[in-house]
Amino acid sequence: MPELPEVRTVVAILNNEVIGKKIKNVEIIYERIVQNDLNFFKDELKDQSIIKVEALGKFIIFHLTNNLILISHLRMEGKYSLLNKDEKNPPHSCVIFYFYDNTKLVYHDTRKFGIMELKTTYNYLTSKPLSNLGPEPFKIDENNIENIYKKITKNKPIKELLMDQSIICGIGNIYADEILFKAKINPLTKGKDISFEKFKEIVSISKSTLTKAINLGGSTIKSYHPKDGIDGKFQNELVCYGHYGKPCPNCGTLFHKIFLNGRGTTFCPNCQINYELKKAVGITGIIGSGKSECLEIFNELGFKTLSCDKIIKNLYENNDELKQKINKLFFYKALDKNKNKLNYSIMRQFISQDEILHENLENLVFPFVEDVLINEIKNSNYTLIIEVPLLFKAHLQYLFKKIIYVESNKETILERLKLRGSKNPLADYELYLKNNNFKISDNVIILKNNSDLNSLKEQIIKISKDL
């Protein structure tokens, strides 16, 4: 922070406040902000007037008399405040420009990462730092888009490339997350895997997103404000950035957060598919449909198989973090602290009486299961066949190149539940049917399991030939 929209907002404020003001003298409190010799900086600016202020990407450019250019970068938290000469300076003031009209422009910066450098109109665009900048998204058109596209076709994640100011300037962490979400591109997708048509879409989305953000005064996030007492409003429009753990508005999958090149990166794994990860096959269906039988047949055929039921059991027994969270969810009554074991009978008693608690337990467990599955899939050189009973409810379909949905008629399922010893087969059936969340799509294979084991095996052998 701030990024292009926030810088444009600051520039608009400065143009309204400081145009025509003549500098009487400059006070440098924090010397590292200024990139020039300090005496040169102060002497050259004395008696110069501000003609106009412009933005280029994340840079603020002051045009002054005598062909002088002051380049400023706010970095994380830099701010400008116009005050009367006798007003108290804000905390963390770094550089103060005193004007002849008894006002002053104070640059203050909590982290003190910002920079200022004095140039001239003759060299400011042809020397660093501005000479290294690529064009703003608004300056990308049919005349230069192919050259920009060549620069992103690298073996680096597309988010990292979008934030590379030497390729495109002005996009930072916030807007990169928003742009990639709207484009339905996983942030880890390599630039070399982005088609030219998809890149044109990225550019178009960048322009529309940044335009809307500029019109709303940018985003006020955490401690950033374009000016004291003034907030941007685009943070209310953010769909992806900062929404880790919340449901995606498109599909309901919880937003994930990873760290990419040290920057927090939020994305929807279901809308923004990582195709390098999508290589397993999932088996799902309601209770009593025969999912476990299918998994066993795949295992007999030589496939490597995993059961989410076994994964959950292992997590319940061995993952201390999950056990503590479950214990808290169950009012600190689910964990035998002496043995560090979960009391399943107490848990069943609670959830049988509280449907919301049952759902909260599932939502608590899903991310832990998801992490295990991601790790298993990433590290497997083979096609994994994974039984995931609540695959669609957990929004895990993004992990699977194919999903086998095992389907049985009601009578068959009720009979199987009776044989398992269910006390109320119909209630169990209706509960699992309610939580099924099944969604048909191109990668879903319907497997009918209403007959004998041989018929099921024949179907699976046929399906396995295409996996």
Q: Cα 58 to chain center, whole Å?
A: 21
CATH class of the structural domain 4-132 = alpha beta
Could you give the CA distance from residue 151 to residue 12 in angstroms, rounded to a whole number? 32
Give the active site residue among 8, 58, 104, 393.
58
pTM of the predicted protein model: 0.82
Whether 389 is a known active-site residue: answer no
CB distance 60 to 73 below 8 Å: yes
Pick the CATH number of 280-464 from 3.40.50.720, 3.40.30.10, 3.30.300.30, 3.40.50.300: 3.40.50.300
Q: Could you tell me whether strands 280-284 and 384-387 are parallel, antiparallel, or unpaired per DSSP bridges?
A: parallel
Which residues, 6 or more positions from 13, have their beta carbon under 8 angstroms from its beta carbon?
A: 80, 226, 227, 230
Could you give the CA distance from residue 111 to residue 166 in angstroms, rounded to a whole number? 24
Counting Cβ atoms within 10 Å, is residue 22 exposed (0-12), middle (13-18) or buried (19+)? middle
pLDDT computed for residue 228 by the predictor: 52
CATH class of the structural domain 137-267 = mainly alpha
User: Residue 212, by phi and psi: left (phi above 0), alpha (psi -120 to 50) or beta?
Assistant: alpha
Give the active site residue among 3, 117, 136, 160.
3
* Per-chain mean pLDDT for the chain: 91
pLDDT computed for residue 229 by the predictor: 47
Whether 410 is a known active-site residue: answer no
Dump pLDDT digits (tens) for 350-367. Answer: 988 898 999 999 999 999
Which residues, 6 or more positions from 355, have their beta carbon under 8 angstroms from its beta carbon?
A: none
Whether 3 is a known active-site residue: answer yes
Residue 150 is given by DSSP the state: H
Q: What are phi and psi of 154, to 5 degrees?
A: -120, 170
Q: Where are the domains of the chain?
A: 4-132, 137-267, 280-464
pLDDT computed for residue 337 by the predictor: 78
CB distance 62 to 30 below 8 Å: no
Q: How far is CA 92 from CA 35, 110, 320, 415, in A?
A: 18, 5, 44, 74
Dump pLDDT digits (tens) for 133-185. Answer: 999 999 999 999 999 999 999 999 999 999 999 999 999 999 999 999 999 99
The residue written with tokens 């025509």 in the block is 20
Helix (H) or strand (E) holding 41: helix 38-45
Helix (H) or strand (E) holding 106: strand 103-109
Percent of the chain with pLDDT over 70: 96
**Helices 320-329 and 355-378 meet at what angle, rounded to 10?**
170
Helix (H) or strand (E) holding 53: strand 50-56
Whether 58 is a known active-site residue: answer yes
Give the active site residue among 75, 112, 257, 263.
263
Q: Which residues of 246-260 are buried (b: 16+ CB within 10 A; e: fewer)?
A: eebeeeebbbbeeeb
Dump pLDDT digits (tens) for 61-113. Answer: 999 999 999 999 999 889 999 999 999 999 999 999 999 999 999 999 999 99
Q: How far is CA 160 from CA 19, 74, 172, 315, 326, in A?
A: 37, 21, 9, 34, 37
Could you give the CA distance from residue 164 to residue 147 in angstroms, rounded to a whole number? 15
